[in-house]
Amino acid sequence: MRFTKYHSLDDILRYPGMRDYLHVFYSQYLLDMLPQETWNLPIARAEQIARTPWQEPFSIVADQLMDAANLVLDLRENQTRKAISLWETDAEAQWNLEKEAEGGKEKVFLIAPAGIRTGEEKKPAVIICPGGGYEEVCFSGEGTPVMHYMEARGYRAFILRYRTGKDGVYPAPKEDLDRAVRYVRTHADQYGADPGNLMTMGFSAGGHLCALQAALCDRETRPDKVCLAYPVISFGAEAHAGSAQALTGGRAQLREALSVERLVTGDYPPAFVWTCRDDDCVPPSNAVRMGEALKCAGVRHELRVYPSGGHGCALAFSKEAHDWSREMLRFFS
């Protein structure tokens, strides 16, 4: 079963548990943009009526809604993806809404392919860490669409739902990413992944998480390459205050310790870092500072600062930063 834009939002919400699942996989503020009077119309029609406050085609928001709804189907009915509960002793234990209600480590999961057929070629792997200011994990733009894009470009793609908010004070999110890297490497054969070609890719606060984990990991959990998209980097100068407060829990002594530009050494993984000059949420100086640290440490890297795109543009297909994903793939090829 698949939802298409010929279905209405009412059709989608009639699926058992869909409202609760969308609370995890789709941002409520995006759902609120779809006028109530359009909920009984095909999404293809409703997206012509609705508007985004940032003057972007509503079709992008609608596409993200379809991605989220179909991810729920893939997990529950089509069995083409799994949500692995990373902190269970059973490596194949799967997350569900009951675990979601328990909170803490029970909310941590890794979206993974269902598996591969014997004999399929091994492909590079990517673990995607969406942003959300360490207060939430925003699957809508920085998770599911990026997963589909990377799969289309020949990667085995995974999405990490790491701990945030009151459960996500350091070191909890880093521990979650460590565990995700270890899981993918340990089960590489099951997913047709190359354990020696694993990328972590983070957006905004997820970029900070990937950057930090790559600096503080051990040999077993070191990623082979890192992509940092409009990342939070510094908790000192020009910091994103919300991310710093959430991850440190207000502990001032952690701000310097978790400022990644201070942690880069010569054995840091190759890195592609990008941002937009007009980002008014996370100052672009964060990415620039990371680029300077990588250069000083002699780490192979590329820094791109695009003229515009703002913050949270993800794949940025309608923005001036649209070419970042192709340039990233070229860099790592």
Nearest CA-CA partner of 125 in 41, 229, 223? 223
* Residues facing residue 157 across a β-bridge: 126
Average pLDDT over residues 122-143: 97
pLDDT for 120: 79
Give the separation between CA 107 and CA 34, rounded to whole angstroms.
28
Question: With bands split at pLDDT 50, 70 and 90, how would you rate the model's confidence at 277?
Answer: very high
Q: What is the mean pLDDT of the chain?
A: 96
pLDDT digits (tens, 9 = 90+) for 61-106: 999 999 999 999 999 999 999 999 999 999 889 999 999 999 999 9
Q: Name the pTM for this structure.
A: 0.97
Is it the case that residue 118 has pLDDT exceeding 70?
no
Q: Kindly tell me if the per-residue pLDDT of 116 is higher than 80.
A: no
pLDDT of residue 54: 81
Average pLDDT over residues 174-181: 98
CA distance 318 to 309: 8
pLDDT of 77 reads 95
Please state the rounded mean pLDDT for residues 172-200. 97
What is the sign, positive or negative, of the torsion defined by CA atoms of 151, 157, 160, 161?
Answer: positive
- Mean pLDDT across the stretch 325-329? 98
